[in-house]
Amino acid sequence: MSRRIAVVLFNLGGPDGPESVRPFLRNLFNDPAIIYAPWPVRPLIAELISRTRGPKAKLEYAKMGGGSPIIPETERQADALTAALKAASPDDEFACFLAMRYWHPFTEEAVREVKAWGADEVILLPLYPQFSTTTTGSSLKAWRDAGGGEARTVCCYPLQPDFVKAHADAIRTAWEEAGRPQNVRVLHSAHGLPEVTIARGDPYRWQVEQTVAAVTASLPEIADHITCFQSKVGPLEWIKPSTEEVVEESAKEGRHIILSPIAFVSEHIETLVELDEEYRLVAEEHGAAGYTRVPALGAADGFIEALKSLTLDALDGPVGLKPPNGRAICPAEFGRCPCREAGLAGN
């Protein structure tokens, strides 16, 4: 019997024009998963940050046409995934819905659309390969708060084979197109987090490191790899090393830098401005032999294959959380791992 299967893609979202930059920032920094401050202090902090960061952010978004490309990027991923799922399971009807956390289409909009569509099954699929309480965790809470109800939920996929291969293939292609430089160092850059978030049991850094280790093992022709973290905001200590510092150090050593956005699956301000412009300038100023930025995975065939496999695997299991390989993969020290919180067996 044919099933109507809704696949809900969780992502950050982004402003769709200059007038939405400040509201987007306000929503972002008013999230208790991002700013550890109680109400009513947190909204005041969010308003202050949006006012102070807004003008600079508007200038950066202006370089991209005034808004973030994350919505059209995610729509392309949704279209490619829908086509792949229909080809894999032609007797079923699939539809992908975007659920953005901090700007339209918001999660509550996706909930209404899924219910109106009349889905028999709902798959929650984060476009965050590595779990964090600040990303997937926040989106799952938003889904529950909006009355989304029970669903088959993909927790994370830091070691999913097609995902790992897609990253390795993208890095290898970038290296080959750069002329196969030998004095090369690959920087795997992920969005950073405050140290306190990790100290509270968030598994994000550990999962990023697992992804990097798997990708590195797939690239024996390139020996030098470093995991680093970008996009620091505010006065708190953030996890290190910072991408900017590693770019500077590598440039001073005369390396050809290949920069891979290991935790970003679409292009947005952190890749198109931070990686493409700001860190490139740092590399050039400090004598890098070259600077090559690997594209985000986007709608690359390998990544879409990974998302298709995750969706179909989730359909085979019970309603609820779907951990990688059926069990929690995070060590016991990461108590905020949702699979551990759910009582699923792990190592």
Average pLDDT (38-52) is 95
Q: What is the mean pLDDT of residues 287-311?
A: 99
Asked whether residue 171 falls in the same domain as residue 56, the answer is no
Residue 149 domain-assigned? Answer: no
Paired residues of 194 in beta bridges: 238
Task: Please indicate, yes or no, if residue 269 is contained in any of the structural domains.
Answer: yes
Q: Average of pLDDT values for 197-211?
A: 98
Residue type, 260: S
Helices (H), 178-300: 195-199, 204-217, 243-252, 269, 279-285
- Please say if the pLDDT value at position 346 is more than 90: no
Same domain, 289 and 172: yes
286 in a known ligand binding site: no
Computed over every residue of the chain, the mean pLDDT equals: 96
**How far is Cα 204 from Cα 136, in angstroms, rounded to an integer?**
10
Whether the predicted pLDDT of 120 surpasses 80 = yes
Q: Is 310 a residue whose pLDDT tops 70?
A: yes
Model pTM?
0.96
Q: Tell me: pLDDT of 347 over 80.
A: no
Three-state SS letters, 3-52:
CEEEEEEEECCCCCCHHHHHHHHHHHHCCCCCCCCCCCHHHHHHHHHHHH
pLDDT for 345 equals 63
Q: Which residues of 50-87 are buried (b: 16+ CB within 10 A; e: fewer)?
A: beebbeebbebbeebeebbbbbebbeebbebbbebbee
The pLDDT, as a whole number, for residue 14 is 97
Domain that holds residue 56: 18-62
The answer to whether residue 148 is domain-embedded is no
Is residue 284 annotated as involved in ligand binding? no
> Do the domain assignments include residue 344?
no
Is 337 inside a domain boundary? no
Please give the Cα distance from 160 to 347 (Å, whole number).
Answer: 18
Give tens-digit pLDDT for 228-285. 999 998 889 999 999 999 999 999 999 999 999 999 999 999 999 999 999 999 999 9
As for how many domains the chain has, the answer is 2
pLDDT band at 343 (very low <50, low <70, confident <90, very high): confident
Q: Among 40, 62, 84, identify where a domain stops.
A: 62
**121-126: strand order across its sheet:** 93-100, 4-11, 121-126, 152-154, 320-322
Q: Is 288 inside a domain boundary?
A: yes
Domain boundary among 253, 269, 293: 293
Task: Answer whether residue 207 is part of any domain.
Answer: yes
17: confidence class by pLDDT, cuts 50, 70, 90: very high
Q: Are residues 168 and 281 in the same domain?
A: yes
Closest among 292, 299, 280, 303 to 168, alpha carbons compared = 303
